[in-house]
Amino acid sequence: MAALAAAVLAGPGVAQAAPQAAPAPASVPREQAAAATITWNLERASNPTEDQRTAYNLITAAMNAAVARYNNLSDLGKAITVRYDPGVPTADGNINGTIRFGNRGYMNERTALHEIAHTIGVGTSSGWSSIGGGGTWRGAQATALVKQFDGSGATLSTGGGHFWPYGLNYDNEFSNTAADRHVQIVAAMVRDGL
């Protein structure tokens, strides 16, 4: 939790905590694959207005918290470019790695988590169409995970480029538990072929 709090207070860039691995005995050589990380950059005006400075501060806090959560709970990797665009009614994310925030009410961690999922492929990739089309996610790993969370009858519903439960589609869906499960499900969807 301290790493997450520290990452939220840091400026834009890589908000991450290195995973802790059990040390191997000195006599046993060990190879360790580097985990991928999500990084982000906020495009800023060279001479920002007060409106832009306020938006940049809100976006920075939201993205740092969301990226720290993704990097602490998954091995997903993506380089994301973030923009403040007042013409965007809410926020949007694209598989090309861009996120745009418009409305101040959406400059929060819940929205950032949700939009990062779109940059990774939720609702935006061919894998999403083939595995998530038809109203139910059919990938084994994410399906098993939602059953672990919610019981043997649970399913991941899909529609309109979104999933539920744990898709964090609305602010009233946010809690620390739901946010953690969101990241775990997105990572499982990637393993399923997202």
The Cα–Cα gap between 181 and 2 comes to 19
CA dist 40 and 13 (Å) reads 5
Q: What is the mean pLDDT of residues 77-88?
A: 97
21 Cβ contact list (under 8 Å, min separation 6): 32
pLDDT for residue 43 is more than 70: yes
Q: For residue 83, which of 71, 93, 73, 95 has the smallest C-alpha distance?
A: 93
Does residue 15 surpass a pLDDT of 80? Answer: no
Q: What is the pLDDT of residues 125-138, one digit of tens each?
A: 999 999 998 899 99
